[in-house]
Amino acid sequence: MKAYKDMSKAELLALKDELEKEYQAFKDRGLKLDMSRGKPSKEQLDLSMGMMDVLHSGAELTCQQGVDCRNYGVLDGIKEAKELLGAISEVDVDKIIIYGNSSLNVMYDTVSRSMTHGVMGNTPWCKLDKVKFLCPVPGYDRHFAITEHFGIEMINIPMTSEGPDMDLVEKYVSEDEAVKGIWCVPKYSNPQGISYSDETVRRFAALKPAAKDFRIYWDNAYSVHHLYDDDQDVVLEILDECEKAGNPDMVYKFTSTSKISFPGSGIAAIATSPANIAEIKKQMTIQTIGHDKVNQLRHVRFFKNLDGVHEHMRKHAAIMRPKFEIVLKTLEDALGGLGIGQWTTPKGGYFISFDSMKGCAKAIVAKAADAGVVMTNAGATFPYGKDPDDSNIRIAPSFPTVDELGIAAQLFVLCVKLVSVEKLLETI
Amino acid sequence: MKAYKDMSKAELLALKDELEKEYQAFKDRGLKLDMSRGKPSKEQLDLSMGMMDVLHSGAELTCQQGVDCRNYGVLDGIKEAKELLGAISEVDVDKIIIYGNSSLNVMYDTVSRSMTHGVMGNTPWCKLDKVKFLCPVPGYDRHFAITEHFGIEMINIPMTSEGPDMDLVEKYVSEDEAVKGIWCVPKYSNPQGISYSDETVRRFAALKPAAKDFRIYWDNAYSVHHLYDDDQDVVLEILDECEKAGNPDMVYKFTSTSKISFPGSGIAAIATSPANIAEIKKQMTIQTIGHDKVNQLRHVRFFKNLDGVHEHMRKHAAIMRPKFEIVLKTLEDALGGLGIGQWTTPKGGYFISFDSMKGCAKAIVAKAADAGVVMTNAGATFPYGKDPDDSNIRIAPSFPTVDELGIAAQLFVLCVKLVSVEKLLETI
């Protein structure tokens, strides 16, 4: 393979002609495929259908504490649900609150509460002139949407292969009292599939924030979402590390079963220090009488324990693995050595991250869309939707079938080639 | 019966002796009964157990719109759930959003959003020096807790037999721009069981608020919760009336199935104008990907339609009716003509409201508690927990059995008599 940058103008023009013909052929097929969102496929949803049967009209719906789960009561979740999600989150039951169906909602509420009531007696953020969040990039668009919604200034922090650039994180957090938080997806990050190294976690735990109300928003979205049985990432438990480092209250750890059982019909949780738990519960008792305990019980009866979850996730992995692999193989086969793109090879999670040549991502995504393949909007992985290099594209292989993905990935690499050639021709 | 106020000191002292003996006898029984919260009884919960079977592992979980309810998507609720809760709320599907398990949570979020983002382009409440809510009293403690939590000043508005004192409401709303809302339970109100008259509803709809962002918080908690088949209250539909009066955006109407299916595992909704709906959805799309559609589908498959709901509510009524009746009969038999208390005789809802002589409520509730019967805290039905007359007591007859209620009501009237005698002796 000859790298594109080493090609002459004539070679590029010839290549462009050829690629345009291929592209037109794709267009003529009238494809309609979607690689835009991290949505489980139908086969994955089918894995949890047994959950529909564990509670039936003859079932006993009383939880361990002796409470009838059908009635009011139990603000912070039934004990057995705390045990299950505590195991997934690697914390004890005294460090977890069970919520409703969405961890995103828990994160939103956490920011919202900080705006209106402040964090542990500190000034409510809505009374401050400026509040800032650090945003490792590329990252999750819905995180950035929350902070943007509340008018919080977002600062890009580049990701490395070990997690966020900790030199920068340490500098901002220790020097600027307006920095109140950082969005993290520590394991199989969205979209790169990077897991934070032990050193990264330890440096997080040892932060010396200028702001007393600085908190790490640790979105443990893919904690048990491995692709392989024998090659899995392990991330140090952040609450433990923070406690050891004398920062016991510095982390909110979020999790949910959205991509374990059913997205939208799962259960979510926050894991944090007992002091934070106590503060959160004071507000929660005003907001609700309690979350859906019947659904909590349904999850516990179906999964039983962490072993049950792992067993279940192996079935998810069997469905996801070939999807990741066909995309990665297509990228490697078509783009390897061309010098027009780089990508990650995650061992878990829901995404592959692709970086095109600078200034090409928007055009690639637009070209794919024109030929019937929807990708996540270019820029979406950055605060305010602005990728300064216009190069990052998130690939979400979960929803289409393997066959569809094969086709979609072929079209994608073709668009990458075509846009790259056009870009190079501009400057030659 | 001789009214207590007409008794001589000697008569009162003799009566006191007798009542104290009776009270001691009750104490010796070691009762443990709870008339404090509006919690459905086990028999009521059993009515909905069929809902556990309508969705099973072989069920088709695709909604009318063709969306797989197990997956992400559909921010504002599936169409069939909008139809069902729309029917309960008496509004069309374009005027309703389906939420999670708790209408209280929807109300909290509505106030919270107004604090941080304002209402329809008006200044966020957190940026104002003063925000006030009108609070018809007696009312629902959890409403008052929300406004207190956000530092909103609460103004008592006396209830009449037709709803809140509308002269006062009109005066405050039209004269004071800081008045941004009013808490209403328009049908079978909490705790009095009063339903607003047509004139009251029309005067609400015709309000001319000083504040452009004034909203009526219309908590339609007991819309289908009748006690009798042939004697039911009907409340004018407020959204229609507001539209007719040229105030289409002035109302948020809340509802839930908490006391229809399962408290904590039901579905909730807000009904409001399309303009409000559009504004709310802009925020909702940041807060969540969507609520629990599987549970929405479960409710629709079980209840089918409004007729199904009414049929189901007749079964609830059959359980609730004798409970209300034994309490009311006990009050009438024991206290009728004594001039030491007044009470309401609701035709639906969850509560009976009792007004003792001034300055007696706290003592009555304490005496009942001492003998093993828990009532709602005296004062709870007023903002800040402060009943200026110390006379209102909420009686919640739903949870205990009829037999238990008979005993609890006997103890209650005894406590009323004893405390009233003590009060009269103080001033004689």
Rounded to a whole number, what is the distance in Å from the CA of B362 to chain A's nearest CA?
24
Whether residue B264 and residue A126 make contact (CB cut-off 8 A), yes or no, is no
Q: Give percent of chain B with pLDDT exceeding 70.
A: 100
- The pLDDT score that the predictor gives to residue B3 is 95
Whether residue B100 and residue A101 make contact (CB cut-off 8 A), yes or no, is yes
Residue A354 in contact with residue A392, Cβ under 8 Å?
Answer: yes
| Side chain identity, residue A193 | G
- The pLDDT score that the predictor gives to residue B334 is 97
d(CA B138, CA B120): 31
Whether residue A70 and residue B289 make contact (CB cut-off 8 A), yes or no, is no
Those residues with Cβ within 8 angstroms of residue B139's Cβ, 6 or more apart along the chain or in another chain: B159, B183, B185, B189, B190, B191, B381, B382
pLDDT, block means (10 residues), chain A with 428 residues: 93 97 96 92 97 96 96 96 98 98 97 98 97 98 98 98 98 98 98 98 98 98 97 98 98 98 97 98 97 98 98 98 98 97 98 98 98 96 98 97 96 98 94
* Token pair belonging to A279: 């503060």
| Contacts A258 to B, Cβ<8 Å | 72
- The pLDDT score that the predictor gives to residue B374 is 95
Q: Rounded to the nearest 10 degrees, how much is the dihedral formed by the CA atoms of A291, A293, A294, A296? A: 100
Whether residue A292 and residue B116 make contact (CB cut-off 8 A), yes or no, is no
Rounded to a whole number, what is the distance in Å from the CA of A336 to chain B's nearest CA?
35
C-alpha dist (Å) from residue A180 to A134, A255, A264, B91, B286: 8, 21, 29, 43, 20
Residue B300 above 90 pLDDT?
yes
| Contacts B126 to A, Cβ<8 Å | 115-116, 124, 126-127
DSSP-derived secondary structure for B46-105: HTTTTHHHHS-TT---B-TTS-BTTSS--TT--HHHHHHHHHHHT--GGGEEE-SS-HHH
| Contacts A42 to B, Cβ<8 Å | 68
Check: complex ipTM more than 0.90: yes
- Burial track B395-414 (b if 16+ CB lie within 10 A, e otherwise): bbbbbbeeebbbbbbbbbbb
Average confidence (pLDDT) over B341-356: 98
Taking CA B164 as the corner, what is the angle to CA B162 and CA B166, rounded to the nearest 5 degrees?
A: 95
- The pLDDT score that the predictor gives to residue A1 is 73
| Contacts A55 to B, Cβ<8 Å | 52
Residue A151 in contact with residue A115, Cβ under 8 Å?
Answer: no
- The pLDDT score that the predictor gives to residue A405 is 95
Residue B210 in contact with residue B174, Cβ under 8 Å?
Answer: yes
Rounded to a whole number, what is the distance in Å from the CA of A375 to chain B's nearest CA?
17
Average confidence (pLDDT) over B402-415: 97
Nearest-CA residue of chain B relative to A68? B42
Nearest-CA residue of chain A relative to B109? A287
* Token pair belonging to A159: 């990701």
Residue B329 above 80 pLDDT?
yes
Nearest-CA residue of chain A relative to B47? A57
Give me the sheet containing B268-271, strands edge to edge: B96-98, B268-271, B251-256, B215-219, B179-184, B132-137, B153-160, B163-164
| Contacts B101 to A, Cβ<8 Å | 100, 291-292
- The pLDDT score that the predictor gives to residue A428 is 84
Nearest-CA residue of chain A relative to B291? A264
d(CA B229, CA A341): 72
- The pLDDT score that the predictor gives to residue B1 is 73
Those residues with Cβ within 8 angstroms of residue B211's Cβ, 6 or more apart along the chain or in another chain: B122, B173, B176, B177, B178, B179, B180
Whether residue A142 and residue B289 make contact (CB cut-off 8 A), yes or no, is yes
Residue A269 in contact with residue A256, Cβ under 8 Å?
Answer: yes
Rounded to a whole number, what is the distance in Å from the CA of A279 to chain B's nearest CA?
13
Whether residue A262 and residue B102 make contact (CB cut-off 8 A), yes or no, is no
In A5-83, DSSP assigns E strands to 33-35
Nearest-CA residue of chain A relative to B40? A71
- The pLDDT score that the predictor gives to residue B46 is 98
Residue B102 in contact with residue B86, Cβ under 8 Å?
Answer: no
Nearest-CA residue of chain B relative to A266? B292
| Contacts B145 to A, Cβ<8 Å | 286
Over residues B13-56, the pLDDT tens digits come to 999 999 999 999 999 999 999 999 899 999 999 999 999 999 99
Of residues B42, B50, B101, nearest to A291 (C-beta):
B101
Over residues B215-235, the pLDDT tens digits come to 999 999 999 999 999 999 999
Q: Give percent of chain B with pLDDT exceeding 90.
A: 98
Residue B74 above 90 pLDDT?
yes
Over residues B173-225, the pLDDT tens digits come to 999 999 999 999 999 999 999 999 999 999 999 999 999 999 999 999 999 99
- Neighbour count for residue B31 (Cβ, 10 Å): 16
Rounded to a whole number, what is the distance in Å from the CA of B142 to chain A's nearest CA?
7
**A214 Rama class: left (phi>0) / alpha (psi -120 to 50) / beta:** beta
Residue B413 in contact with residue B335, Cβ under 8 Å?
Answer: yes
Strands B163-164 and A392-395: unpaired
Is the Cα dihedral B360, B366, B370, B374 positive or negative? positive
The half-sphere exposure of B327 on its side-chain side, counting CA atoms within 13 A, is 27
Whether residue B52 and residue A50 make contact (CB cut-off 8 A), yes or no, is no
Over residues B242-285, the pLDDT tens digits come to 999 999 999 999 999 999 999 999 999 999 999 999 999 999 99
